[in-house]
Amino acid sequence: MSIRETIDQQAAERMEQLKDRGRLLVKCPDQPGIVSVLSTFLHNNNSNIIESSQYSSDPENGTFFIRLEFHCDNLTEKASEMEADFEKIAQAHDMEYRFNYGHERKRAAIYVSKEPHCLMELLWEWQNGDMNMDIALVVSNHEDSREMVEALDIPYYYIPANKDIREEVEAKQIALMEEYDVDVLILARYMQILTPNFVNHFENRIINIHHSFLPAFIGARPYERAHERGVKLIGATSHYVTNDLDEGPIIEQDTERVDHRDTVDDLKKLGRDIERRVLARAVKWHLEDRVIVNGNKTIVFR
């Protein structure tokens, strides 16, 4: 049995264990009784709440957000009927909502350029079972990572890209995303600007990672320029991609202290470590349906 077959078998066993597990995410105007309405709905459908997290932006005139994880026997058979019943509740309370189910494994495409550290972290987390997704394919504008990806029986697509052929490249990429039925696109240090057409195809489904020097050290050689400036903190930010470059809704950030003793190479090494863990956490929270986008901000139920 190949590595990929072993991983898929283990994932199938986990999906079987989670077949009666569901998640309900709701965003609506804050008003008295919302939690009671939701818990009553689940109770009436013989569902047991396992985890509940909620947030109100303003109890007077704000927006209410909640994530409910629940267990329901024979959920796969009941799901369609439950969703139809819930639609009436959603309309009555002006709710935006979504149901997700434990037996559904999101399909991911990972995009990478030359630096492999974020890709390697995702592959490791996926192999050890901590990243509950199916890596459908890897897309790159370089050949550097092909060997490590294909060793895991993951399709690797080399598509050279630059600003002169961007529309042609993205047309190929969109076709691949549709062919592989991809749910989430992960930019693991993919160093290409995406056009509005591409971003609009995958709203709130593209996750990016970048160093937190932006916008202070935007552009080339950020670590060298940060070193020259004598920064005391370096970090990384993972966010959803929008048409405002590197300004989409933030999912996760982290930092580390540095000082005058650290060289440019020290900053780069530490920066790679931060990028890996920040991207991995952001992807996990997305896969576990812990993120609700609200305008250009996120509510993250960790």
* pLDDT at residue 56 greater than cutoff 70: yes
| Domain boundary residue, one of 45, 75, 101 | 101
Same domain, 54 and 70: yes
| Domain boundary residue, one of 84, 101, 118 | 101
* pLDDT at residue 265 greater than cutoff 80: yes
Same domain, 74 and 211: no
Q: Which domain holds residue 47?
A: 19-101
* pLDDT at residue 182 greater than cutoff 90: yes
| 109 backbone dihedrals φ, ψ, rounded to 5° | -115, 130
In a domain, 126, yes or no: yes
Number of folded domains that form the chain: 2
Q: What is the pLDDT of residues 86-122, one digit of tens each?
A: 999 999 999 999 999 999 999 999 999 999 999 999 9
Q: Is 246 a catalytic residue?
A: yes
Per-residue pLDDT at 211: 85
In a domain, 280, yes or no: yes
pTM, 2 dp:
0.95
Catalytic residue (one of 144, 246, 254, 266): 246
Same domain, 91 and 224: no
Per-residue pLDDT at 222: 87
Same domain, 116 and 222: yes
Per-residue pLDDT at 282: 98
* pLDDT at residue 59 greater than cutoff 80: no
- H runs (alpha helix) in the chain: 3-17, 34-44, 75-92, 117-127, 146-150, 166-179, 196-201, 222-229, 264-287
* pLDDT at residue 8 greater than cutoff 80: yes
In a domain, 11, yes or no: no
* Mean pLDDT for the stretch of residues 228-234: 93
- In this prediction, residue 2 has a pLDDT band, given cuts at 50, 70 and 90, of confident
